[in-house]
Amino acid sequence: MFGLGLPELVLVLMISIVLILPASRVCSKAGYPAWLGVAVLIPGGSVLLLFFMAFVKWPIETQLEALRRSGPA
């Protein structure tokens, strides 16, 4: 009687998808696994993910520096 019904579960699923998809895309474009986007569902996880993405050297940056050092092809 006091549990979640089908409309509430659908709403929770939709909100979860709306949060996870963009976070996963950002993580994958930065060179990290897309599953890191799930961190936005953990309380405080979105703030931790934001700080992580802001201050850690991204793998894609490392690859870009290696390409720049190798010179023009």
User: What value does the mean pLDDT take over residues 3-24?
Assistant: 90
Given this model, what pLDDT does residue 73 score?
61
Report pTM: 0.72
Given this model, what pLDDT does residue 18 score?
92
3-state secondary structure the chain: CCCCCHHHHHHHHHHHHHHHHHHHHHHHHHCCCHHHHHHHHCCCHHHHHHHHHHHCCCHHHHHHHHHHHHCCC
Given this model, what pLDDT does residue 1 score?
59
Query: Where do the domains of the chain lie?
Result: 16-70
Q: What tens digit of pLDDT does each residue of 27-71 get?
A: 998 889 999 999 998 999 999 999 999 999 988 888 889 999 997
Q: Give 56 or 3, the one with higher predicted confidence.
A: 56
